[in-house]
């Protein structure tokens, strides 16, 4: 396969993460052609040029449509705020490019549906940035559950918490706009939902409560603006196989920095994981003498592939950005027509459907069955 030509739209938190992944994927995995970093787009020309130089891209533009029209670009990374995803991803697919789009798909469900429709028509690979499923530890947890290591799973608790919105004096920015989505649901809940989907399948029914800790936030230019969405949510869920689950998401939880805590309870044991300690998980198996039963802490190691592609030594640990490098490798696998561990627009849309059902259940104060 010839080297893939890469276009990157947006260079904030996630833009840099994608750039690191495109730069590192060959070094880490070896078995791919080194991607060619062709074109980068930002909101203004000065920032675009500066970032292109830093990230190693050949061309820079303030017009993302010029990037999409570039014949040397084969794959477009869309890392802009949520409200731009649909327009940019659809334009890229229609121009015959593969797309790696950050989550969520789009604030409006109709836009997300259209993204899937265009992806199907294009025949191109369209992948969402649900990087947490890529943790080698998570892959191992999936294997353990499949092998019946904790028996038949019946109850799950999953939490996603951070504190970047915890301070009432945090300036108003796009994440508090309704045009960016429901807040805790599409900003946060989608990540735990991607893990639940990866391990157990899609959610079947939901009922939700949400809270807006602060009514308004200060504006950079002075004055205040009303917060339009909810920073925290609690959701009761039903999954297939009679599994009952609870999901809690909060972007205003002081002290929580990157918590995605998963507790999985089965008939023969339990598994506990937290993204804040992403290089370990705990396994409890109800076997042997009661006097020695207890959780075992298992550290990430080369046995949990593809950890071995990064470091030969166990217990040294991977980082958040490494998950994106693994996701990048999986995307290239999909482009090559090989089986890949990715969240396609198809599964992404079902995750979005769950999120919209959660919002609907909150507004209508009732359980919603998700078809
Ligand atoms: N997968 C994850 O773990 C994860 C983590 C954080 C954010 N995200 C997602 O990534 C996306 C971006 O979030 P972020 O935190 O990186 O935001 P950010 O604000 O840090 O970066 C967004 C960038 O897009 C640029 N941009 C805006 N409009 C543009 C335009 N018209 N053309 C070109 N560039 C433009 C901005 O200038 C900015 O540099 C969001 O959809 C978010 O949900 C995913």
Give pLDDT tens digits for 26-75: 999 999 999 999 999 999 999 999 999 999 999 999 999 999 999 999 99
Which residues neighbour 46 within 8 Å (Cβ) at sequence distance 6 or greater?
none
| CB of 131 sitting under 6 A from ligand 1 | yes
Give the integer Cα–Cα distance in Å for 328 and 26.
10
| CB of 14 sitting under 6 A from ligand 1 | yes
Q: Residue 177's pLDDT is what?
A: 95
| Per-residue H/E/C for the chain | CCCCEEEEECCCHHHHHHHHHHHHHHHHHCCCCCCEEEEEECCCHHHHHHHHHHHCCCEEECCHHHHHHCCCCCEEEECCCHHHHHHHHHHHHHCCCEEEECCCCCCCHHHHHHHHHHHHHHCCCEEECCHHHHCHHHHHHHHHHHCCCCCCEEEEEEEEECCCCCCCCCCCCHHHCHHHCCEHHHHHHHHHHHHHHHHHCCEEEEEEEEECCCCEEECCCCCEEECCCECEEEEEEEEHHHCEEEEEEECCCCCCCCEEEEEEEECCEEEEEEHHHCCEEEEEECCCCHHHCCCEEEECCCCCCCHHHHCCCCCCCCCHHHHHHHHHHHHHHHHCCCCCCCEEHHHHHHHHHHHHHHHHHHHHCCCEECC
| Nearest in space to 355 (alpha carbons), one of 219, 229, 235 | 235
Q: Point out the ligand 1 atom lying closest to the alpha carbon of residue 320.
A: 3
pLDDT confidence of 362, banded at 50, 70, 90? very high
Structure tokens that stand for 6 in this block: 């890469």
| CB of 11 sitting under 6 A from ligand 1 | yes
- Is the pLDDT at 109 greater than 90, yes or no? yes
Give the residue-averaged pLDDT of 179-203.
Answer: 94
Give the residue-averaged pLDDT of 115-129.
Answer: 98
For ligand 1, pick from 8, 50, 79 the residue to mutate: most ligand atoms within 8 Å of CB.
Answer: 79
| Nearest in space to 270 (alpha carbons), one of 151, 147, 137 | 151
Q: Which pLDDT tens digit goes with each residue over 227-273? A: 999 999 999 999 999 999 999 999 999 999 999 999 999 999 999 99
Phi, psi for 34 (deg, rounded to 5): -65, 120
C-beta of residue 269 within 8 angstroms of C-beta of residue 151: yes
C-beta of residue 284 within 8 angstroms of C-beta of residue 296: yes
| CB of 43 sitting under 6 A from ligand 1 | yes
Query: Lowest mean pLDDT: which of 71-80, 109-118, 173-182?
Result: 173-182
Which residues neighbour 88 within 8 Å (Cβ) at sequence distance 6 or greater?
9, 64, 68, 76, 78, 80, 101
Place of tokens 């353990």: 144
Structure tokens that stand for 309 in this block: 């592609």
Structure tokens that stand for 353 in this block: 């459907």
- What percent of the chain shows pLDDT beyond 70? 100
Q: Residue 307's pLDDT is what?
A: 98
- Is the pLDDT at 2 greater than 90, yes or no? no
* Average model confidence (pLDDT) across the chain: 97
The better pLDDT of the pair 310, 1 is held by: 310
Structure tokens that stand for 325 in this block: 């490098």
- Is the pLDDT at 1 greater than 80, yes or no? no
Q: Residue 371's pLDDT is what?
A: 83
C-beta of residue 331 within 8 angstroms of C-beta of residue 130: no
| CB of 232 sitting under 6 A from ligand 1 | no
Give the residue-averaged pLDDT of 190-196.
Answer: 97
Q: Which pLDDT tens digit goes with each residue over 322-355? A: 999 999 999 999 999 999 999 999 999 999 999 9
Q: Point out the ligand 1 atom lying closest to the alpha carbon of residue 187.
A: 43
Structural domains present in the chain: 5-124 (3.40.50.720), 133-314+342-369 (3.30.360.10)
| CB of 13 sitting under 6 A from ligand 1 | yes
- Is the pLDDT at 102 greater than 90, yes or no? yes
Q: Residue 193's pLDDT is what?
A: 97
| CB of 100 sitting under 6 A from ligand 1 | no
Other CB atoms within a 10 A radius of the CB of residue 286 amount to 13
Q: Residue 116's pLDDT is what?
A: 98
Q: Which pLDDT tens digit goes with each residue over 143-156? A: 999 999 999 999 99
Q: Residue 221's pLDDT is what?
A: 95
| CB of 46 sitting under 6 A from ligand 1 | no
Q: Residue 94's pLDDT is what?
A: 98
Pairing of strands 368-369, 343-344: unpaired
Distance 164 CA to ligand 1 centre (A): 15
For ligand 1, pick from 9, 11, 14, 181 the residue to mutate: most ligand atoms within 8 Å of CB.
Answer: 14
Q: Residue 180's pLDDT is what?
A: 86
């Amino acid at each position: 396969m010839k080297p893939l030509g890469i276009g990157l739209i947006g260079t904030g938190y996630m833009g840099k993460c994608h750039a690191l992944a495109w730069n590192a994927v060959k070094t880490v995995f070896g078995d791919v052609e080194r991607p060619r970093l062709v074109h980068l787009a930002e909101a203004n020309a000065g920032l675009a040029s500066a970032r292109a130089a830093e990230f190693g891209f050949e061309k820079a533009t303030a017009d993302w449509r010029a990037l999409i029209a570039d014949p040397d670009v084969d794959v477009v990374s869309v890392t802009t705020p949520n409200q731009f995803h649909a327009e940019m991803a659809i334009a890229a697919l229609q121009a015959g490019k593969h797309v790696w789009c950050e989550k969520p798909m789009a604030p409006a469900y109709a836009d997300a549906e259209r993204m899937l429709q265009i992806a199907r028509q294009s025949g191109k690979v369209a992948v969402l940035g649900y990087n947490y499923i890529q943790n080698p530890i998570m892959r191992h947890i999936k294997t353990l559950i499949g092998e019946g290591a904790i028996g038949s799973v019946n109850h799950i608790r999953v939490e996603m918490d951070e504190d970047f919105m915890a301070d009432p004096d945090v300036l108003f920015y796009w994440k508090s706009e309704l045009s960016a989505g429901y807040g805790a649901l599409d900003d946060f809940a989608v990540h735990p939902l991607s893990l639940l989907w990866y391990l157990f399948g899609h959610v079947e029914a939901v009922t939700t409560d949400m809270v807006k800790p602060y009514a308004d936030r200060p504006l950079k230019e002075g004055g205040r603006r009303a917060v339009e969405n909810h920073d925290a949510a609690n959701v009761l869920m039903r999954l297939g196989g009679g599994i009952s689950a609870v999901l809690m998401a909060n972007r205003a939880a002081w002290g929580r920095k990157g918590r995605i805590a998963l507790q999985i309870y089965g008939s023969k044991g339990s598994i506990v994981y937290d993204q804040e300690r992403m290089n370990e998980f705990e396994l409890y198996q109800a076997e042997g003498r009661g006097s020695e039963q207890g959780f075992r802490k298992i550290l990430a190691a080369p046995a949990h592939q593809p950890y071995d592609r990064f470091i030969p030594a166990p217990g040294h640990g991977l980082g958040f950005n490494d998950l994106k490098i693994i996701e990048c490798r999986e995307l290239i696998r999909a482009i090559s027509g090989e089986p890949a561990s990715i969240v396609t627009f198809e599964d992404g849309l079902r995750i979005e459907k769950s999120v919209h059902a959660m919002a609907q259940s909150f507004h209508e104060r009732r359980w919603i069955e998700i078809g």
